[in-house]
């Protein structure tokens, strides 16, 4: 019979090191996720058509990223606000490229709806930051950010369906 081997449990130092590594890598992984739609958008620009692609992944990228930029600014977390500023920038580029080449019937109404939705989220959060106490605003925006993150990934599933 083989001797019983006991696995050593991770020590507090090992866990702290792992958390520090994840904290260091997270912003870079986030930026890579924001770059994921780039080949699709370049294809849209090349073909001058969006085909059956939905607009939701790009408008929700703008909204989600903006919320996390606000949270990062309120909590003074440069890794959060800087990496998500990339998401706002790329999301805006994707949105503009999509709208430039979208030729489906009723596209104008759809684009206006998405634009207004993203604008409302941005204005709402800026107003929160002006009206409420900083920590309360950050807590609300953090919860809102989790919701929009779920929306963003759900919208990507919609895109995969097409």
Question: What is the spatial distance between Cα 160 and Cα 113, in angstroms, rounded to a whole number?
Answer: 22
SS3 104: coil
Residue 47 confidence class, pLDDT cut points 50, 70, 90? very high
Summarised one tens digit per residue, pLDDT across range 81-131 is: 999 999 999 999 999 999 999 987 778 888 999 999 999 999 999 999 999
Cβ(118)–Cβ(91) below 8 Å: no
Q: What is the pLDDT of residue 87?
A: 96
Question: Residue 137 CB: number of other CB atoms within 10 A?
Answer: 19
Cβ(61)–Cβ(40) below 8 Å: no
Q: The whole model's pTM is what? A: 0.82
Question: What is the spatial distance between Cα 97 and Cα 88, in angstroms, rounded to a whole number?
Answer: 14
Looking at per-residue confidence, does 4 or 73 come out higher?
73
DSSP label at residue 1: -
Question: Residue 148 CB: number of other CB atoms within 10 A?
Answer: 20
Cβ(110)–Cβ(58) below 8 Å: no
Question: What is the spatial distance between Cα 59 and Cα 29, in angstroms, rounded to a whole number?
Answer: 20
Summarised one tens digit per residue, pLDDT across range 25-40 is: 888 888 999 999 999 9
Looking at per-residue confidence, does 154 or 82 come out higher?
82
Choose the weakest-confidence range: 68-72, 150-154, 158-162: 158-162
Residue 23 confidence class, pLDDT cut points 50, 70, 90? confident
Name the average pLDDT for the chain.
88
């Amino acid at each position: 019979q083989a001797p019983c081997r006991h696995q050593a449990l991770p020590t507090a130092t090992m866990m702290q090191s792992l958390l520090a590594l994840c904290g260091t890598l997270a912003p870079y992984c986030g930026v890579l996720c924001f770059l994921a739609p780039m080949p699709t958008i370049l294809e849209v620009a090349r073909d001058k058509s969006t085909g059956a692609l939905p607009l939701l992944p790009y408008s929700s990228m703008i909204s989600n990223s903006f919320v996390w930029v606000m949270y990062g600014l309120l909590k003074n977390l440069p890794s959060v606000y800087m990496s998500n500023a990339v998401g706002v920038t790329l999301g805006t580029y994707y949105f503009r490229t999509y709208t430039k080449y979208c030729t489906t019937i009723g596209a104008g109404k759809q684009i206006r709806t998405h634009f207004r939705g993203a604008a409302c989220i941005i204005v709402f959060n800026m107003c929160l930051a002006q009206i409420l106490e900083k920590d309360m605003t950050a807590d609300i925006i953090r919860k809102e950010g989790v919701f929009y993150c779920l929306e963003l990934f759900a919208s990507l599933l919609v895109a995969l369906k097409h």
